[in-house]
Amino acid sequence: MNAKIGAILDAWFQEEMDALIAQGATLADIREPSFDELLATKVGERHKDEIRTNSEMGRAFLVEAIFNGSPDTLRKFAGIFRERDPDSAMAYDFETLADQRERGTEKGNKGDDSNSDD
């Protein structure tokens, strides 16, 4: 993702976080896994036109959603891909990632000790 797009996305997410804090979100709320999904939903709703019309922005937003999305969000993506193509490999990949994230076993997960000999 280019630096300009990254800076714009960062600003959008910070703007929404500030708004939620102003509405009473606490530090405990921010630490909840569902908070990231709420934040992404709010950014997506507020900036949907820019995300849809700028392909680079759309890709960057999708990447953010994949890296930070909850298992439920990933399953929603899987459903979208499955509607377009019932045999979609992408749908399977999103479902697999959702399952791994739910179990804490996704590759690259700092809590993943599945490769250790313990």
* Domain match, 98 and 60 both: no
* Domain match, 33 and 56 both: yes
* Domain match, 7 and 63 both: yes
Query: Tens of pLDDT along 17-63?
Result: 999 999 999 989 988 878 888 888 889 889 989 988 998 998 898 88
Report the number of distinct structural domains present in the chain.
Answer: 2
* Domain match, 48 and 97 both: no
Residue 7 domain boundaries: 1-69
* Domain match, 63 and 92 both: no
Cα–Cα distance measured from residue 25 to residue 48, given in angstroms and rounded to the nearest whole number = 24
* Domain match, 7 and 65 both: yes
* Domain match, 35 and 58 both: yes
pLDDT for 18: 95
Cα–Cα distance measured from residue 87 to residue 79, given in angstroms and rounded to the nearest whole number = 11
Structure pTM? 0.66
